[in-house]
Chain A
Amino acid sequence: MKTILKLTIIVLLIMSFAQAYAAEMINGAGATFPYPVYSAWAFDYNKVTGTQLNYQSIGSGGGIKQITERTVDFGASDKPLTTEQLNKDNLLQFPAVIGGVVPVVNLPGVKAGELRLDSDTVCKIYLGDIKYWDDKGIKSLNPKTDLAHNEITVVHRSDGSGTTAIFTEYLSGVCPSWKDKVGAGTSVKWPAGIGGKGNEGVANYTQRTANSIGYVEFAYAEQNRLAYTLLKNPAGNFVAPSFDAFEDAAATGDFDPKKHFHLWLVNAPGKNAWPVAGATFILLAKEKTDENKNVVKFYDWAFKNGDAKAKELVYVPLPGSLKEKIRAYWKANGIQ
């Protein structure tokens, strides 16, 4: 008995200290939106440098919260914070990658890119005003699709989410009744539906529930073969979510370092622009200079070497000029 106990203690202690200082570790948490690309980058970065970047996708609300409480080295959020908010909590912010939020449906017989929706129908579905798939509004947009009289199950996020922030920002911009009744934010008071945890959870629930509609970052729709819909953009065109459509939305964006790059990319004016695009941001605690340098080193590496991987997962890498602006921002804040 005693020997077993001693052995266990020794083994545990050795295990816990042997590697303690062997691998450098960076802890990040936040948005699930860029999780596929961050984890792919971290995987490659670990192979090249040995540094472990542990990114946990707990939602943008979580990213903001945990960096504010200083329990992680960096937070990630798809909802950009304003200068005022950043100053209040002594934070820095820069964008990392651009992507798009897409509505996905689980309708028998409806394939990806077949269903057409506009801002009005999406808004009414999420408000619970449109309850059935054969609603007039949806039918008139889709005269050729066979829509049965089935009740719509709305899937939304249950956690604090930047994907939700982008999505509700989009709805608030195009749908006045949404703005009045619900508003925009990382978590809102949903008028209808069931909540899944993370982009992962929404994708999972949508997959499992017939006649449902959800919204996820495009990489989740692609990787899980979910049926995304077309959306009508402000220029009046029905566009499919794609690399080009996201890039078109990003092209009009003017990220300003003075505002810590605060910018929404929803409802961009471009002809082929996807209306629900957004950048995802990294948040740093200003006073943690050493940790910040490690984080910045990682993103600098990713900016140089990660573009191909990002494109493969249908994220839009930041344009070269923006990357330079970000590097200048790092230097100005003494973290590179």
Chain B
Amino acid sequence: MPTTPKKNSVDTIFSSITAVSAFSVIILIAGILYTLVDESYPAIEKFGIWNFLTSTDWDPVRESFGALTNIYGTILTTFLSLMIAIPVAVGIAIFVTEISPNFLKGPIGAAIELLAAIPSIIYGMWGLFTLTPIMSRHIEPLLKSIFADVPFIGILFQGTPMGIDILTASVILSIMIIPFTASISRDAFNLTPSIVKESAYALGATKWEVVKNIVIPYSKLGVFGGIVLSLGRALGETMAVAFVLGNNHRITTSLFDAAATITVTLANEFSEADTDMYFSSLYYLALILFVMSFITLAIAKFFLLRAERKYSR
């Protein structure tokens, strides 16, 4: 601190209050972790860690629970939605930073930010009412007719397209995370020094070559951080997928099948689990989700911080 300010008693009180407020974040995180571990303790004791993570059982009658179906659903929908979202989001970022005429940059940027602000429950409801019928009547039958007989990929497109399934949920999730990924990528691209770009142009590079060989390599840390951040968001998204995933505790290979994610299982079953072991297992799921997303977000933060340091140098 460059100058040491004068101290007096009011100042001590004020600084303590601010300190307590700041530490509330640490207390909250510790509190959440403690509560989740405490509540899931009976389930941890009964099922263990490895067994719980690898068991596909979700059987409330026999009180035998495992997390694998939920983890599988969570990871599969997240992965698929990233597959859809990343190219689109990076494309948007390239368009906004390099291609678009200046007068369009503002409006498109604003549109992306608005898309990010729409509450997830609206995405979910819209998905159920508008997207599901389109998927089940048009898009999924089309995909099925093209891919169902192709070896290997074919198993992804088996069964009746009913619209309430993994594919629809992933599409909605991807629409939700496109704005996050796009705006972080855009910020990263914007940090490429124009002098480097201009030198490349001067050497006769085309616009795409500048993007591919200069902008993307220069900003890859930031873009990657943005993608991991979106991954963390997608892992924990509840309402957008709760409407259209179909709550199915089985592991299936077809994208036209229903599934369950950790979040959806919690939303559906948390307030109605009638036995202690059932309830404790749900807390166990919440704990797994918390740890998963915490680690993911920490990784994202690590990359974003490194990117920031690199550019500010």
Contact = CB atoms under 8 A, between A and B. Distances in A.
Do chains A and B make direct contact within the complex (CB under 8 angstroms)? yes
B273 A193 contact: no
A183 B61 contact: yes
Given A65-B274, A189-B61, A209 B163 contact: yes
A85 to B, nearest CB: 10
A322 to B, nearest CB: 26
A186 B164 CA distance: 23
Nearest to A75: B274
Contacts of B272: 58-63, 65, 159-160, 186
A163 B196 CA distance: 67
Interface in B54-78: 57-62
B7 to A, nearest CB: 28
B159 interface: yes
Contact of B271 (A66, A153, A186): A66
Interface in A85-102: none
Contacts of A208: 128, 132-133, 163-164
Interface residues of B, number: 28
A312 B60 CA distance: 35
Contacts of B60: 160, 185-189
B70 to A, nearest CB: 13
A194 B162 contact: yes
A189 B274 contact: no
Contacts of B62: 183, 189
Interface in B38-67: 57-62
Given A61-B274, A183-B61, A189 B249 contact: yes
A151 interface: yes
Contacts of B271: 29, 58, 62, 65-66
A189 B268 CA distance: 15
A182, A185, A188 interface centre (most CB from chain B within 10 Å): A185
Contact of A187 (B61, B136, B162, B248): B61
A127 B139 CA distance: 29
B160 interface: yes
Interface in B258-272: 258, 268-269, 271-272
B247 A189 contact: no
Interface in A47-64: 58-64
Contacts, number: 92
Interface in A197-242: 197, 205, 208-212
Interface in B154-189: 159-160, 162-164
A182 B58 CA distance: 12
Interface residues of A, number: 37
A151 B160 contact: yes
Contacts of A182: 61
Contact of A65 (B136, B160, B163, B279): B279
Contacts of A195: 246-248, 258, 268
A19 B258 CA distance: 45
A286 to B, nearest CB: 18
B273 A61 contact: yes
B59, B258, B272 interface centre (most CB from chain A within 10 Å): B272
A330 interface: no
Interface string B128-164: 1000110010000000000000000000000110111
Contacts of B249: 189-190
Contacts of B279: 65
A336 B269 CA distance: 34
A64 B58 CA distance: 20
Nearest to B129: A208
Contact of B247 (A63, A68, A194, A211): A194
Given A184-B61, A193-B248, 18 more contacts: A59-B272, A159-B269, A160-B60, A160-B269, A160-B273, A182-B61, A183-B61, A185-B60, A186-B274, A187-B60, A187-B278, A190-B249, A195-B248, A195-B258, A196-B247, A197-B268, A205-B164, A209-B136
16 contacts: A61-B272, A61-B273, A65-B271, A153-B160, A158-B247, A160-B272, A160-B273, A187-B278, A189-B59, A190-B249, A193-B248, A195-B246, A195-B258, A197-B247, A208-B133, A209-B163
Q: Give the 5 A-B CB pairs with smallest separation, nearest first.
A: A62-B272, A195-B247, A158-B247, A194-B246, A187-B60
